[in-house]
Chain A
Amino acid sequence: MPMSREEIFARVKETLIEALGVDEDEVVGEATLTGDLGAESIDFLDVVFRLEKAFNIKVPRGELFPENILTNPKFVNGKKLTAAGLAELRKRMSHADLTGFKDNPQVDRIAELFTVDSIVRYVESKVGVG
């Protein structure tokens, strides 16, 4: 059943508070998981597990948080994503906002794409917005 955007956001927020042990007021739309909310790699798995439970959805491996992009030489040149890498990222992460990133696609800025909003958009694509 489709949910409202607010409902989805509230439930994502709850999920992040539980998984990352952060305060309610820290979980705002533009907050980044690693930078602002202090998530480590294992926390990403925890977030996936909790989202599946909270929304009764399946989150296939690599769908919410893509893998194997940075390890592929076709997609990375030095410290930047190549055009092919950027295209791949866009294809795999339609839930991310690449506006600011695409002008300076530094590898170490990829973490900034994982925001609370990107999770909300991903969940929306799974459950449908009513």
Chain B
Amino acid sequence: MRWIWIDRFVKFEPGKTAQAVKNISLSEEHLHDHFPGYPVMPAALIIEGMAQTAGILVCEANDFKEKVILAKITKAVFDGLAVPGDTLLFTANIEQINEQFAVASGEVSVSSPRSEGEKSQSRHLATIELIFSHLDQNMAGKKFPERQFVLTDIFQILLRDVLPTGGKRIGDKTNE
């Protein structure tokens, strides 16, 4: 099992920007303990959702040839809470990408469903900045397995809606 913290991409401009949504549900068990009687989406998992949105964007930019690893959370500032029933919208932008690493900036907004006829309002939830490392270009010269083990085939499903290739290339090496 892989922890996937985004449900769907709604926008994907290769090498530039991506948007993904995540619906928070009370059937997610972790919310029962975080916190008992007051379920709140953990900030760490919101960061993970942004890391997946931005990570896939970065990985696609290199045709999925590099293993993209979250290396640093440069900034994560939250100005609110997200609770079951809310929808998170992750917007990730690539600030820089080179052979060694990538820098991404992101914003998270949250909207709550309203009764019919009422307008759902979106509010800002977090600003997150991340640095990804290209694993095979690490400074220590360490070697890793050749197959793509970071973005495995489950992520293909996410890209199917927004990319003409459906992220087909992701699984190529894994399936060999």
Contact = CB atoms under 8 A, between A and B. Distances in A.
B139 interface: yes
B135 to A, nearest CB: 12
Interface residues of A, number: 13
A45 B99 contact: no
Given A45-B101, A49-B103, A61-B99, A67 B72 contact: no
Interface of B: 71-72, 74, 95-96, 98-101, 103, 131, 133, 139-141
Contacts, number: 31
Main DSSP-derived SS at the B contact region: strand
A1 interface: no
15 contacts: A41-B140, A42-B131, A43-B72, A45-B71, A45-B101, A45-B131, A45-B133, A46-B103, A49-B95, A49-B96, A49-B103, A52-B96, A61-B100, A67-B139, A68-B141
Contacts of A99: none
Contacts of A42: 71-72, 101, 131, 133
A104 interface: no
Interface in A26-73: 41-46, 49, 52, 61, 67-68, 71
A19 B100 CA distance: 17
A41 B96 contact: no
A67 B133 CA distance: 16
B72 A46 contact: yes
A56 to B, nearest CB: 13
Contacts of B100: 45, 61
Interface of A: 19, 41-46, 49, 52, 61, 67-68, 71
Nearest to B140: A41
Nearest to A42: B71
B72 A71 contact: no
**Top 3 A-B pairs ranked by shortest CB distance?**
A42-B71, A45-B101, A42-B72
A41 B99 CA distance: 16
Nearest to B141: A71
